[in-house]
Amino acid sequence: VTTAGPIAADFFDGRSSARHLVQATREGNLLRIAGAAVALEVPVEHANVQPRIGRTPVRVLLPGNALLLAEATELERLLPIPRSRGLAHRLESHLGAVFASLAGVVAAAWLFVQFGVPWAAREIAQRIPPEMERDIATQSLNQLDGYVFSRSNLLPERQAKLRALFAELRGSARGAAANAQLEFRDGGLIGANAFALPGGTVVATDQLVVLLRDDERVAAVLAHELGHLEHRHGSRQILQSSIIGLLSAAIAGDASTLTTVVVGLPTMLIHSGYSRDFEREADRYAYGLLEATQRSPRLLGEALEQLENAHPARTSSCSPDDAPPQRKRHGPTAEDLGYLSTHPATPERIRDAEAAAR
Ligand SMILES: [Zn+2]
């Protein structure tokens, strides 16, 4: 009879949680386990050796729910240890699988950012209480007034006429856009532009009104902004960036990102513009409002064309044109390329407006 061992092991009797220090020996076909309060003989065929998982001790299941734990390097002197067929071991031993799962994680993250985050942002945006959105709008406008805008120089009669047009459009709106307010500001560096602040404030700059001349075209741009309000694009944009920012912060363990997200809201509204999808959605909404008030969707195309002609190097976002004028002198920058790549070209939107008019 061949003998192997003894080896040191831990033994649990299956009835109590007490751990017994034991010595295990193999004698022929018998596994002998001996300790201060343990004396046991188990036929080898009744010792069920579990596959090893990483560097953890190997588990040997014994009759009566008893359990023997031993280091793999020791135990293999007594009993063969089966190769793991478990996922964890396969991942450890196959680099290919590791890279495949890494690719899976990257793909899942991409899908999450591409579809999950916008979905979550839309769902959350619809549940933000209106008064909270109005607070955000008020604070954002205050900040913009502090560093970008100044008081409008439009004549009171012109303002009154545009407000009447705005009220007419709003009269055909439902939901979030139905209670919208219109504000005029001198756009300063921002120039000809219009914004929809979450909570229901549309801001039009003097420069936009002056550039478009025709109030009906201004109305078309305002209808587009009402579309952003109706679909809560502002809140959704903020939420999307915040969710991604917070996730990055969580992953990188950098809390300063959170501060950046919170402080950067007004800046983000002005500079990053909206996504292609948001612009299309707001355009479609504008066509509907224009038609509901006996106007042609073509007005929006004409307005965009005028804005485009004023700054041919730029394409339009919500933000029919949102570049500070002095930046245009330096030709396209990396930022412009990013902007071009994420915003539909104005010619495309002009064509869409023409098509909607037919
Ligand atoms: Zn827009």
pLDDT tens-digit map of 42-101: 998 888 888 877 778 888 999 888 999 999 888 888 888 887 666 666 666 677 777 787
Q: How far is the CA of 321 from the centre of ligand 1 (A)?
A: 10
Q: How far is the CA of 304 from the centre of ligand 1 (A)?
A: 11
185: which 2 tokens?
């500001």
Lowest mean pLDDT among 40-44, 102-106, 200-204, 284-288: 102-106
Q: 75 CB contacts (<8 Å, ≥6 apart)?
A: 7, 9, 24, 49, 58, 60, 81
Q: pLDDT class for 236, splitting at 50, 70, 90? A: confident
The order of strands in the sheet holding 181-186 is 150-151, 181-186, 201-205, 194-197
Of 273, 207, 262, nearest in space to 237 by CA: 273
Strand partners, 7: 24
Give the Cβ contact number of residue 25 at 10 Å.
Answer: 17
70 to each of 74, 85, 197, 313, how far by Cα in Å?
7, 20, 66, 73
Spatial distance between the Cα atoms of 278 and 290, rounded to a whole number of angstroms = 18
* Average pLDDT of span 129-155: 85
Q: pLDDT class for 223, splitting at 50, 70, 90? A: very high
Residue matched to tokens 């009879």: 1
Instruction: State what percent of residues in the chain have pLDDT above 70.
Output: 78
Q: How far is the CA of 237 from the centre of ligand 1 (A)?
A: 12
Q: How far is the CA of 281 from the centre of ligand 1 (A)?
A: 9
Q: How far is the CA of 49 from the centre of ligand 1 (A)?
A: 66
Going by the DSSP 8-state scheme, the letter that residue 94 receives in this structure is -
Q: How far is the CA of 40 from the centre of ligand 1 (A)?
A: 79
Q: How far is the CA of 224 from the centre of ligand 1 (A)?
A: 6
Q: How far is the CA of 181 from the centre of ligand 1 (A)?
A: 17
Spatial distance between the Cα atoms of 141 and 266, rounded to a whole number of angstroms = 8
Q: How far is the CA of 283 from the centre of ligand 1 (A)?
A: 8
Q: Are 72 and 12 in contact (CB under 8 A)?
A: no
Q: How far is the CA of 57 from the centre of ligand 1 (A)?
A: 62
Q: 303 CB contacts (<8 Å, ≥6 apart)?
A: 212, 217, 218, 220, 221, 320
Q: How far is the CA of 179 from the centre of ligand 1 (A)?
A: 19
Q: How far is the CA of 315 from the centre of ligand 1 (A)?
A: 12
Q: How far is the CA of 318 from the centre of ligand 1 (A)?
A: 2
Q: pLDDT class for 339, splitting at 50, 70, 90? A: very low
> What are residue 3's phi and psi, to 5 degrees?
-120, 140
Whether the predicted model's global pTM rises above the 0.75 cut: no
> What are residue 28's phi and psi, to 5 degrees?
60, -120
Instruction: Write down how long the chain is.
Output: 358
Q: How far is the CA of 101 from the centre of ligand 1 (A)?
A: 39
62 to each of 31, 45, 299, how far by Cα in Å?
10, 10, 83
- Amino acid 113: pLDDT: 76
pLDDT > 90? residue 4: no
Q: Are 299 and 289 in contact (CB under 8 A)?
A: no
Structure-derived torsion over alpha carbons of residues 134, 137, 139, 144, reported in degrees to the nearest 10 = -160
- Per-residue pLDDT tens over the stretch 38-52: 888 999 888 888 887
Mean predicted lDDT score pLDDT of the chain: 78
- Amino acid 250: pLDDT: 66
Q: How far is the CA of 234 from the centre of ligand 1 (A)?
A: 10
